[in-house]
Structure 1
Amino acid sequence: MQIQINDTLRAYIDPLTEAEYTALERSILAEGCRDALVLWNDVLVDGHNRYSICQQHGIPFKVTQNTSFRSMEDVMLWMIDNHLGRRSVTDFQRGVLALRRKDILEARAADAAAQNAAEDAKIAPPEPTAAEEAAPPKVRTSREDVARAARLSTATISQIEKIQKQATPELVEAVRAGTISINAAATVASLPQEEQVLAVAGGKKQLQQAAKEVREQRAANRPAKQPKEDSPEALAAPAASLSEVELLRAEVARLTERNAQLRAENAELRERIASLVDAS
Structure 2
Amino acid sequence: MANTKAENTISTNYSRIFVRYSTAGDLRAQWEEARTKGATLLPVRSPPRHLTALERLTLTVQAPDIQADIEVELLQILEGLGIVVRVLDLGILDPPSLPMLGTGSPTLPTVRFENSTETPSSHSCPEKRAPERTHDSAVGSSALSWSVDKLTAEWDNLGTAERIRVARYGNRGARGVVLRSNDRTIFSHLLTNPHISTEEIASLAGNAALDPAALRRIAMSTDWLRSAEVVRNLVCNPKLPMPEVERLIRLLSRDELVRLAKSGRARASVKQAVAKRLKASER
Q: TM bucket by the smaller chain?
A: under 0.3
The TM-score, its normalising length taken from structure 1, stands at 0.27
Instruction: Name the structure where helix makes up a greater proportion of residues.
Output: 1
TM-score (normalised: structure 2): 0.26
